[in-house]
Structure 1
């Protein structure tokens, strides 16, 4: 029975992931730019001390919110920002410092990745979502990289999800390894779990 439930949950999550990625990729460029700008503004307003922390963020792929202008602005204010590096499948991510014009090469998932620069330990992670639920559980791409990374880093970084309003769902059917986000930022604002507003 438990196996049947896990199988059904897995199918549900795969279908939800595909649907949400398709909706995101259907966004016209101007709409994606508008929503990304709103997300960056809300991040800056809700977390004004980001430039004082080491911030890990993700290179935008498949029409994810574009945080590159925010990362550049944090650097201009004296902050340090880093991109994730897949060391080996099944292991936590490492993070390498990023700066504009840094040389990048596609990794095994075809995501631009730094080839040099210092390895940093992020204090804040800005995590794209494919879906996020009422419990602040995030549906990613299914590799488990960020859950392993959050579980491995001590102290745990502040985990802030970034995505669009249409990616909010009642439940992603979280699994035992899933860890909730500390906050979620969309084009309409920042939300924290109940009791942490």
Structure 2
């Protein structure tokens, strides 16, 4: 059972995991990220989504750009999208992205497509600072993805992307937390969880 100030525990855990990941040498992360890319490509081939929402790499996270570019090149009808962070407390929206898209940056300094209508991708690639065996994730604490997954219709399939260093015994999820359908790490793919 969560205590009312579970936020402090999660904030400390998040800080530990992000700080540790950012301190990892590129030579350590490179083979892990290559393994994640391979497992992710296999999962995408299995699930065969028509559209993918993904995030721009941030704070040492897995960079999905190459995987998404290759996936897009595999079929002209496929499309990709990036999130647009709106007002505090509101769900994110998504705009279509191509390598040629004009970009802007949000209040976190993260690029997003500068123009275009909102779209709902069939599948979302969601970064995880931490995760547990039930598919719950630890993000950055603002609730952007939980709020967005709850609001999008139809609800996209959610694929969490993490490194095994972020594996936790139990995140003790909050009532609003939404588990990922799958988690992809350098060790492989787990799921579906929901």
Task: Say yes or no: TM over 0.5.
Answer: yes
Specify the alignment match of 1:44 in structure 2: 41
CA distance in 2, matches of 1:192, 1:131: 16
Specify the alignment match of 1:84 in structure 2: 83
Tell me the SS of whatever aligns to 1:169. Answer: coil
Shift of 1:179: 0.6
Shift of 1:118: 4.4
Specify the alignment match of 2:63 in structure 1: 66
Q: 1:114 to 1:50 in 2, by over 3 A?
A: farther
Count of aligned positions = 192
CA root-mean-square deviation: 1.9
Shift of 1:166: 0.8
Specify the alignment match of 1:134 in structure 2: 133
Specify the alignment match of 1:156 in structure 2: 155
Over residues 145-175 of structure 1, what are the superposed CA-to-partner deviations in whole Å (9 max), with x where a residue is unaligned? 1111111112211101001011000122211
Q: 1:193 to 1:179 in 2, by over 3 A?
A: same
Greater mean alpha carbon deviation, residues 64-73 or residues 33-42: 33-42
Shift of 1:52: 4.2
CA distance in 2, matches of 1:33, 1:114: 27
Over residues 65-92 of structure 1, what are the superposed CA-to-partner deviations in whole Å (9 max), with x where a residue is unaligned? 0100011111111221100001221111
Specify the alignment match of 1:112 in structure 2: 111
Q: 1:29 to 1:103 in 2, by over 3 A?
A: farther
Q: Which runs of 5+ in 2 are unaligned?
A: none
Tell me the SS of whatever aligns to 2:178. Answer: coil
| Runs of 4+ that moved beyond 3 A | 49-52
Tell me the SS of whatever aligns to 2:4. Answer: helix
TM-score w.r.t. the length of structure 1 is 0.90
CA distance in 2, matches of 1:130, 1:146: 13
Specify the alignment match of 2:52 in structure 1: 55
CA distance in 2, matches of 1:71, 1:158: 16
Q: Which runs of 5+ in 1 are unaligned?
A: none
CA distance in 2, matches of 1:50, 1:40: 15
CA distance in 2, matches of 1:51, 1:116: 27
Specify the alignment match of 1:23 in structure 2: 20
